[in-house]
Amino acid sequence: MHPEHTSVAIVGAGPAGLLLARLLHRAGVDTVVLESRDRAYVERRQRAGILEQPTVDALRAAGAGARLDREGIEHDGIELRFGRRAHRVDFPALTGGRRVTVYAQTEVVKDLVALQLAEGGPLLFEAEVREVTGADTARPVVHYRHEGREHTLTCDYVVGCDGFHGVVRNAVPDAVRSTYERVYPYSWLGILAEAPPVYDELIYAHSERGFALASMRSPSVSRLYLQVPNGTDPADWPNERIWDELDARFALDAEPGRRLQRGPVTAKSVLPMRSHVTEPMRYGHVLLAGDAAHIVPPTGAKGLNLAAADVIVLARALAARYRDGATGLLDAYSDTCLRRVWRAEHFSYFMTTTLHTDPGQSAFDTRLQLAQLERVANSTHAAAELAENYTGLPIPD
């Protein structure tokens, strides 16, 4: 129940930690996963729902693709709305056949938790990691509390998949750690509603009233977002006000009076918007992955997918280390991932700043946004750039 040593200690049982554990299990590398929350909380934590093709491929390769293939909804594009007009970006036509899949993070986590408990190494819920010591030694130690008792776990490597507020990144000394951050002057008010999506694909809307996004979780559940000021209290937005504002921001001259399908709102929350990168992603025998190393605004649908890319690269590197003692991939882990991270940061920044309206934004700034959206609508090259980034850039092999 409480092993004293493992090859790789993974802190955090979100998609990144669980996928890494699964990939390493398949490569014959021992792991222990420690998660501070209980299983119910982890499996119902609402986050992203758009999977890039490389993420889907990795889940299938890990043996976690059966329900994804049955219930996931493939999307061949997105719709951009601006100036009360609509333009569709056709992903397969612009990328040589790539697409994305709608499958909620909650379902990814449920699938990976079930596999880990059935076949993998120990997965301890409600195991609070207090500290990681010896990061720059060959035997780092994870200190954690579980079931009312203090425990230690020695390992060859510690991987921090415990998010932005996790403790593993604190094992990297401030003297060698650089952080880069941007905080945006708006947030998203998001709802889950028991209402069938009216549209077949995601809609990103730029309007004078602010940004809006129509997404989905299933054929009967809609996921919808509104741009709101920072500090917004969800209680100030009754359901009817939310639906009316969504209809106003999605309005098209070609579809006067068309409304979203309305239904019971089952969840409502406000999501702040920020970009954040921590460098390097490795210090000694401690490695960071996912939100522990980087945050992106959700506009580009990159958060879960960047985390998956990190652990795919890391799993290959650790497998090579234990298979034949080769450390080249492991030594290159941080640089390899950061090149892709910064590309995703730029794309997420582009989508966010092009589609949202800053408080006090001038008419000149708005015209620049509309000019950029017009270019995407009328230039194959600009549309292809968006489509290639949205569907996912290749993961370095």
**Same domain for 328 and 385?**
no
**Same domain for 241 and 345?**
no
**Same domain for 317 and 219?**
no
Alpha-carbon span 393 to 341, nearest angstrom: 11
**Same domain for 19 and 137?**
yes
**Same domain for 173 and 140?**
yes
Question: Is pLDDT above 90 for 254?
Answer: no
- For the segment 18-46, the average pLDDT, to the nearest whole number, is 95
Q: Which of helix, strand or coil describes residue 50?
A: strand
153 within domain boundaries: yes
**Same domain for 306 and 375?**
no
The pLDDT value recorded for residue 259 is 87
395 within domain boundaries: no
For 144-165, the pLDDT digits (tens) are 999 999 999 999 999 999 999 9
Q: How far is CA 310 from the centre of its chain?
A: 11
**Same domain for 232 and 309?**
no
- The CATH number covering residue 380 comes to 3.30.9.10
93 within domain boundaries: no
80 within domain boundaries: no
**Same domain for 173 and 201?**
no
Alpha-carbon span 105 to 36, nearest angstrom: 18
Question: Is pLDDT above 90 for 396?
Answer: no
- The CATH number covering residue 169 comes to 3.50.50.60
21 within domain boundaries: yes
292 within domain boundaries: yes
Alpha-carbon span 119 to 96, nearest angstrom: 37
The pLDDT value recorded for residue 155 is 98
The pLDDT value recorded for residue 46 is 75
- What is the overall mean pLDDT for the chain? 95
Question: Is pLDDT above 90 for 257?
Answer: no
How much is the pTM?
A: 0.94
Among residues 146, 132, 127, the alpha carbon closest in space to that of 36 is found at 127
How many domains, in total, are found in the chain?
2
The pLDDT value recorded for residue 248 is 96
Residues involved in catalysis: 75, 204, 298, 302, 390
**Same domain for 173 and 317?**
yes
**Same domain for 284 and 267?**
no
If pLDDT is split at 50, 70 and 90, which confidence band does 258 have? confident
- Sign, Cα dihedral of 170, 175, 180, 181: positive
The pLDDT value recorded for residue 47 is 73
129 within domain boundaries: yes
For 193-249, the pLDDT digits (tens) are 999 998 889 999 999 999 999 998 888 999 999 999 999 999 999 999 999 999 999
242 within domain boundaries: yes
**Same domain for 216 and 67?**
no
**Same domain for 44 and 125?**
yes
The pLDDT value recorded for residue 397 is 75
Q: In terms of residue numbers, what domain contains 372?
A: 183-272+358-390
Beta bridge partners of 190: 225, 269
Share of the chain above pLDDT 70, in %: 100
Alpha-carbon span 75 to 69, nearest angstrom: 13
Contact 232/210 with Cβ under 8 angstroms? Answer: no
Burial 126-161 (b: 16+ CB within 10 A, else e): ebebeebebbeeeebbbebebeeeebebebbbbbbb
Question: Is pLDDT above 90 for 346?
Answer: yes
For 280-317, the pLDDT digits (tens) are 999 999 999 999 999 999 999 999 999 999 999 999 99
If pLDDT is split at 50, 70 and 90, which confidence band does 113 have? very high
